[in-house]
Each structure stands twice: as C-alpha cells, then as structure tokens.
C-alpha cells in the first residue's frame, strides 16, 4: 500500500473517530436525543410505621351548675381532659347548638332560646363528646314559672364585628375563634371563626354588654368586655400575643431548577468517560483494518496481473528465428 493510500486511510479513520465523539456528545445532551436511562440504586421500601391506636375516651364529669334563664338553660363546662364538643338542645334534639372547648378550659354554654309561657314544660339536654364518644351528659325536664309579671326579653337584633391581629406585627389572624357572652342575660353564643383577613361578625344577639373571648392556635387567649351594644357595632382590633417559643414561620425557598447540560459540558463529560464510545470505536477500527487488508490484497492481485501482461508482451515483440536452407 502506497504512502498516499495509507495517508488517505488514516484521514478516513480520524474522520470516523471524530464523528463518533460528536455523536456520543450529542447523545449525552438530552436536548438532541433520548439517552438510554441508567439504572439507579435500588431502594428498599420502608415498612409502614406502626400506628398507635387512639385510646377510647374515659367518661368523666364536665357539667355543673345548670340554671334556667327565662328562655334558655345554661350550664358550666369544666374540661380537664382533651378537646371536647358540647351539644346543647332544647325541646327537640334537632334544635341544638355546638361548642368546641379546648383542654383545660372552663366555659358557660347555653341551649338555644325559645318562646315560653308560664307553666310550659320544657325538655333540654347537654352532651359532651370526645373523639365522637360521649363522656358526660345532662338532661332535664322543667316547668316554666314566669311569675305574675314576667319581663319580656328584647329581640336578638344586634351584631358585633371586628378584627383579630398579631400583637407583634398587626397582621390578621385567620381561624381564631371568638365567643360572646351576654352580661345581663347570661347567654353564651356559639363561637364564630375569623376569615382570611382576620375579620369576624357575631350572630344576632341581645342589645347588651358582652364579654368577648378570643382563642387561636399558637397565641395566648384574650378577653375583652364591650360597652352596651344597641345596634350593629364594630369594636377595636383585638391583638393576640404569641406563645413562648412560637415564631412566624419562614417560607421555604423554592429550589432553582438544575440547568440543562449544553454541548460543551457534554464534551467535557466525554473526555472523562471515553468508555461510552469504546464499543463503536472497536467496531469501526475492525471495519477499517479489514478494508485496508482487502485493499492491499486487491492491489497485489492487480500488480501480479500487470507483471503477467508485461511478460506476455515481451515474448510477442522479440526477434524472429531464421530458417537455414541446406
């Protein structure tokens, strides 16, 4: 094989090698082709954690000091256990109110109000539930005694509105509960919950002075006493102080997405991992070596044929042989 032919073969080999590296680099770039996924480390599933069953609530006394107040019954609830729900009804279990009372809280609750007449028989009851299980109840049947000159109750026609805020930064507190108790008529209304902007509005209530109690998760409870309310009124903001060790949660920053590798990064990665192209290179080298061998074999055949043709020509062009006459 001539020097020129060998140079040509080396150039072809170099071109194919460069093409292989470029193709491998482009394959490493997910923007150009779909790379064959590599198997990740096997993950052994973690067995499910054992769930501790919630203990069945134990019956205990939470009700005391029931009292009839002209058109409704009140009772004191002293909760020394976990959070409970108190259901208060009068005349019909469907005519009821619900109260959510946290652990360690003592609160006076009442049945709904009804129109009554002297001598009327009224059935009523209170039921305390913990985890939907009844732990205490109080039921009674009373005879209404209004006396010779009963005092008519005013209509429940006024509301109280306001906003609950953080004492440190004045930001509104959503989800706080606000409870109102009438000072004159000793009636506690069902609590209302503040909206996303921290505002609340009471149900329709008697025109009266009110004790206002506010509770929220992570904050100290607060209490206020309003002036006598004779129409729908708005009270000043009620600030709540955070409990010790509680701070405003800091939002977790969103991680930045990983940049898509570019062609230059793929080249650098390829330099440190040449094995990705080893199989292709081996096949290409074998093909080129075989091609060179075939080329050299054909070249030898061609030279042999030319030599034979040259020898044959020399025999035809040689001097003729004369014939001697006797």
Band of residue 300 on the pLDDT scale cut at 50, 70, 90: confident
C-alpha–C-alpha distance, residues 209 and 183, integer Å: 6
pLDDT at 320: 47
Least confident of 22-31, 36-45, 66-75, 258-267: 22-31
**Is residue 84 a contact partner of residue 101, using CB atoms and an 8 Å limit?**
yes
Percent of the chain with pLDDT over 70: 65
Above 60 in pLDDT, residue 323?
A: no
Mean pLDDT of 210-219: 95
pLDDT over threshold 70, residue 302 = yes
How would residue 301 be classed by pLDDT, with cut points 50, 70 and 90? confident
116 burial level (CB within 10 Å; 0-12, 13-18, 19+): buried
Structural domains in the chain plus CATH codes: 56-150 (2.60.40.10), 154-245 (2.60.40.10)
26: burial class by Cβ within 10 Å (0-12, 13-18, 19+)?
Answer: middle
The one-character DSSP state at 229 is B
CB atoms within 10 A of CB 126: 26
CA distance 142 to 114: 14
Mean pLDDT of all residues in the chain? 80
d(CA 242, CA 60): 32
């Amino acid at each position: 094989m001539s020097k020129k032919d060998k140079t040509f073969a080396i150039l072809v080999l170099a071109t194919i090698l460069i093409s292989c590296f470029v193709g491998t680099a482009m394959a490493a770039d997910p923007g150009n082709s779909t790379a064959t996924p590599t198997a990740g480390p096997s993950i052994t599933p973690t067995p499910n954690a054992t769930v501790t069953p919630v203990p069945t609530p134990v019956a205990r006394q939470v009700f005391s000091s029931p009292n009839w107040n002209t058109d409704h019954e009140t009772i004191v609830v002293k909760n020394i256990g976990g959070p409970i729900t108190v259901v208060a009804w009068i005349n019909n279990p469907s005519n009821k109110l619900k109260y959510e009372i946290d652990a360690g809280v003592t609160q006076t609750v009442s049945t709904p109000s009804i129109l009554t007449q002297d001598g009327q028989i009224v059935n009523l009851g209170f039921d305390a539930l913990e985890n939907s299980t009844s732990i205490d109840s109080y039921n009674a049947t009373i005879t209404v005694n209004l006396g010779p000159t009963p005092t008519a109750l005013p209509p429940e026609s006024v509301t109280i509105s306001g906003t609950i805020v953080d004492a440190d930064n004045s930001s509104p507190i959503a989800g706080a509960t606000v409870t109102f108790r009438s000072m004159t008529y000793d009636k506690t209304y069902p609590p209302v919950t503040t909206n996303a902007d921290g505002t609340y509005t009471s149900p329709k209530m008697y025109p009266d002075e009110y004790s206002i109690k506010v509770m929220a998760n992570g904050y100290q409870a607060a209490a206020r006493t309003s002036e006598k309310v004779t129409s729908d009124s708005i009270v000043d903001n009620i600030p709540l102080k955070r409990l010790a060790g509680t701070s405003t949660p800091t939002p977790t920053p969103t991680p930045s997405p990983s940049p898509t590798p570019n062609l230059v990064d793929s080249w650098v990665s390829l330099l440190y991992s040449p094995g990705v192209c080893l199989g292709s290179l081996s096949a290409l080298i074998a093909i080129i070596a075989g091609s060179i061998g075939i080329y050299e074999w054909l070249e030898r055949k061609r030279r042999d044929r030319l030599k034979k043709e040259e020898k044959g020509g020399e025999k035809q062009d040689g001097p003729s042989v004369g014939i001697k006459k006797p």
